Every structure is written in structure tokens, then in C-alpha cells.
Amino acid sequence: MNDSDPSNPAFSAQRRRVLLGMGAAGVALAGSSLSCPAMAAQTGKTTAQVTEAPSSDKTQDRHDFHGQHQSGIVTPRPAAGMLVSFDVLASDREDLERLLRTLDQRIRFLMTGGPVPQVDPKLPPLDSGILGPVVTPDNLTITVSVGASLFDERFGLAAAKPKRLIRMVGFPNDALEPDCCHGDLSLQFCSNTADTNIHALRDIVKNLPDLLLVRWKQEGSVPPQAPARPGEAAQSARNFLGFRDSSANPDSNDRKAMEQIVWVQPGSDEPAWAAHGSYQAVRIIRNFVERWDRTPLQEQESIIGRVKASGAPMDGQQEHQVPDYRKDPHGQLTKLDAHIRLANPRTAETQRNLILRRPFNYSNGVNKNGQLDMGLLFICYQADLEQGFISVQTRLNGEPLEEYLKPVGGGYFFTLPGVTGERDFLGRGLLEATQAKTSA
């Protein structure tokens, strides 16, 4: 009998020994890799302990609270984001003003940082303590926006409602969950770490228990990228579909472009108080990642309209190249229904539909059916909600990508103008715009 014959018992025994040996070698290699930090500590290469906190030299990074526009819109997107929607419990304009003034005060402190005052131990502490006795700013921004429902009969604000602010309605592919939609007010938290955002949220909830009630919350993150090489553009982060996200975002450092795309301008058809504010569209978009991961690469790239590895458009070599659809009128390279082509056809007419995207990846655990609950916390800003997000999403209705995603929540909000002086506060212009009408 041939020793190499699989039916030979000797061959089978030998095969088992080889496989067992390979398994043992794999375990040994894995153990070696996992033990590297400990081995390094024993040889004096590091003194780190297992319980030591990760270190960062960015905890003192801060943004200026004051400005014509709120921060957290064109400011660079950090690693951790969170969008929280609230129901406003205020019963009259006096309470609403107290809410806005308190928000203003807390955000000023949280974005600046500093020591927390100590109180009698018999009383509740003034701070949760999760950042310690001295609050670090940690690159925090908190952006305040208001929903259409704030302009109902409660506060006499109806006459000052932004012209295009509406309650979000579902698109054909949506499966909106009521508990994850809409709200009187939204707060967008962005910082270097998730704990800084949580600390800020708890501070605001603690200081406004009678005026704000959390309606829904979604946390997200952005995976850090390696620094760009000299002479190369920085790469966009990847979403949970594995593609680079926001590759064609407008240049947030281009002031003129931002005035056209993002900021409501003085003298527009919007209420005068709304100048320098912006419309915020939020969507919680679940990704069916198990289905996506079983889809051939060629089909994935065809659906998105980009090369997965590099992020380049189908007719390009690197991520930030602009696709030339004029040379591809029949969709031979970039399909006519590819996501990037529908979202931005790059025609003179669709230039008015540009938006500034600020997305975060999210992961919420596992659904009851055992599928991973993860996707994109999509946030975008624009001066005109109808020409911006709504027009873009309408073009995307029916796209092939819909097979792999399902929007389940979100809302439309109007981001208040910034604070320009010590006596100013968030929402002051809105209240003053309706003061005379209310008093009359």
C-alpha cells in the first residue's frame, strides 16, 4: 500500500501529526505575539503597566467658543462624535431663555475646561468626575440646533421659523423608528475621545433636568489615519462598508465656498436672525454588513463608483481626483446609477445641491436576529435644506446601494448662529426676533 494514499491509516496518522504540529506552531506564534509587551517590559524596553491609561498630548486642544458661526461644522472632525436629540420641557419663553442661557454657559465651560468647584460632601458633586477634578477641553465642540417642533405654539416662535425647516419625512427605502427621529433640539458633540462627549452630555443633563429630556442618542467614531506623506493629500477615513467616506467633500477651509454651500447669508429670504446659521440633516443609516461582505469586490466598486483600495474614482488613480463623467456618458467606467454619480452628477445645475458632510461610524451591538447593528451616523450641513440634502437624497432613491443599507432614524434641524460677544448667548437673536410680537 502506498504511504501517500489517503486511505492508508499510516498516511492519516501522519497527516494528523502534521496538522497538530501546525496548530501548535500557530498557538506558539500567537502566544509570542501576545506576550511581546510583557517580554518588552521584562527586558526594560517599556515600563507601562496593564492598567495605565493611554496617554495623549491632545487633551488641552480647544476651539474658540465665540464666532460668527458655531464650531463643530467646518472645524476638523475628531475621532469621537455623538448626536443627541432632546424634547424641550420648558413651559414658556422665560423657561426657554433660561434653557438657552444655561446651555450657553455650560458649553463655554466645557469647551474651555478648568477645575470643578468643590462643594459640601453632603451635597451631590457639581460634576460627574469622569474626567477628574480638572476638566480638559480635549478638542470638544458642542453644536446647538433646533427642530421644527420648537416653533409650535408654546413659545411664540412661529413667525421666526427658518423658511425651509420641516419635520423629516421618510424616503422610499427608509424604515424610520419613531423613537430615533426628530426632536425640539439637537446637540452635536465632537471631541478626541468618547468619554469627553459623555462627560459633556451628563453635565448638560445634570444642569437642565427640568428643561431637557433626551429623546434619542447615537454615538460614532472616525478611525484615525496615518499622517499624509509629504506632497500627498490626506486620506479620508473609511466607513463600515470599507470605502473612504466624504472623498468629494467641499473644501471646508474655502471661506467663499462655505458661504455659498453651508451658511445662511444676510439678506436672503430666511429670517434675519438666521443669518450665519445652517441647516443640519441627520440620518442613522444601518449597513447590512454581513450581506455586503459576501458581495464580490467588482460589484461593490460598481455600486459605489470608486476603487475600494485607493478610494479613487473609476477613471482615476487617487482618491481626490475628480471623475470626468463627460468622457463616460454611457457609464462604461462609472455606472450611471453608481452612488457617487447619483449623489453628485457634477453638472452646472447640480452645483447648487452641494452639502458639507460630517459622518461618523457607529456600532450598536447585535440585533435580535444575530446580525451586527452598525452603520453610519450621517450628518451634513447646508444653507438650503431643500436644495441640499433633500435634493441629493431624492436622486439616490432606488440606487443599487439601497440593498445594503436602511435608514432608521434622524431628523432635520437648524443650527443657531454663533455667539459674537460676552453679552450674547446662543439663541438670543431668535428670541429677540419674536419678542415684540409676543409682547404685543
Q: How many CA atoms lie within 13 A of 30 on its CB side?
A: 6
DSSP states along 124-185: --SS--TT-SEE--TT-EEEEEEEGGGGSTTTT-GGG--TT-------TT----GGGB--SE
Does residue 27 or residue 348 have the better pLDDT?
348
What contacts 163, CB < 8 A, 6 or more positions away?
A: 269, 270, 271
Q: At what angle do helices 93-112 and 428-439 cross, to 10 degrees?
A: 170
Q: Report the candidate in 179, 186, 221 with the shortest Cα–Cα distance to residue 201.
A: 186
pLDDT(99) > 80: yes
Q: If you average pLDDT over every residue of the chain, what do you get? A: 91
Q: At what angle do helices 93-112 and 194-207 cross, to 10 degrees?
A: 150
Q: What is the value of pTM for the model shown?
A: 0.88
Give the separation between CA 129 and CA 115, rounded to whole angstroms: 11
Kindly state the average pLDDT of the residues 136-149.
98
Give the separation between CA 52 and CA 255, rounded to whole angstroms: 43
Q: How many CA atoms lie within 13 A of 422 on its CB side?
A: 0
Give the separation between CA 369 and CA 288, rounded to whole angstroms: 12
| pLDDT tens digits, 237-276 | 999 999 999 899 999 999 999 999 999 999 999 999 999 9
| pLDDT tens digits, 318-372 | 999 999 999 999 999 999 999 999 999 999 999 999 999 999 999 999 999 999 9
Task: Report DSSP state, residue 306.
Answer: B
Which residues sit opposite 137 in a β-bridge? none
Task: Report DSSP state, residue 197.
Answer: H
> Which of 72-76, 226-230, 332-336 shows the lowest mean pLDDT across its residues?
226-230
Give the separation between CA 305 and CA 303, rounded to whole angstroms: 6
